[in-house]
Amino acid sequence: MSLGADFHKSRLIEVSSNMIFPGMDPYLEHPQLWSGVHSSLIVYFRDQLQPLLLPRYVASIEEQVYVEGSDRDVIPDLRVERTSVESAAPRRAASLVLDEPIVVEVPIVQIRERYIEILDRQSNLSVVTVIEVVGPSNKIAGPGRDSYLQKQHETLSSATHLVEIDLLRKGKRALAVPESRARLEGEFDYLISVNRADEPRTRFELYLRKLREPLGSIRIPLADGDPDVKLNLQNAIDRAWESGGYPLRVNYAAPCIPSLSPADEAWVDQLVHVALPKNVLE
């Protein structure tokens, strides 16, 4: 996918493969990059959890599909074309001449979002925990948000733990915990919520993260009082950044999309110019 002036074409230059940000790379939040980042995170989360879950549990990657309209950043723009209308023989008055319409074609696109289910092999592979990574379509009004909230409601109405990870600054939060309640605990750019099925559903364990901080690790609950397992978010985002070749794809000299505060923009600029070779930024 071509991203215009905001992104570089790949070049054969020597670049450090080490992640340059202490936590989240805000440039990865670009709507046209996030799909690939999201897919990588789901796989890396599964890979981390699998050896920690055996022998009783397994981590399974599942997929939800919904139809999205064409007015979203994640899919192509509307295609509009004007069509000519052949002149009909005049009847009684010129006022009967029809105006020329604009014909609009609206593509229908299937959006596929992956998530993780932890399955219990001692209970006929019943779902113990659902791990969701929020996407851009979940944070704006439309089918993506409706689908996410419906699945969220179904999980909260079941005996399944729910883990929600929001690494996107832009858009209306879709997590089960109200954003206003979470902000009473402190400021954050990224929000992670854990809701346990064996506790009141009104209780949430929150992980508040700012742009300049490491994402760290979170606790993933299991069944029957089994100890929680650790999911290292920072390790996963580092792997996604390094394996995705983003130093060669992203134009870090361009303004970040979504935009940053002036203070954070200055911090990112300084970090990038120290960490990346000059020929990557040109």
pLDDT score of 172:
96
pLDDT score for 247: 83
DSSP one-letter code for 139: G
- Give the model's pLDDT for residue 264: 97
**Could you tell me if 248 and 11 are in contact, meaning their C-beta atoms sit under 8 angstroms apart?**
yes
Predicted pLDDT at 140: 93
The predicted pLDDT at position 72 comes to: 46
Helix (H) / strand (E) containing 153: helix 143-156
pLDDT of residue 97: 76
pLDDT for res 34: 95
Contact 78, 70 (CB under 8 A): yes
- Global pTM reads 0.81
State the 10-residue block means of pLDDT for the chain, 282 residues long.
Answer: 44 58 97 94 98 98 74 36 40 66 79 91 97 95 92 96 98 97 98 97 98 98 97 97 90 94 96 73 55
What pLDDT sits at residue 64? Answer: 81
Burial of residue 233 (number of CB atoms within 10 Å: 0-12, 13-18, 19+): buried
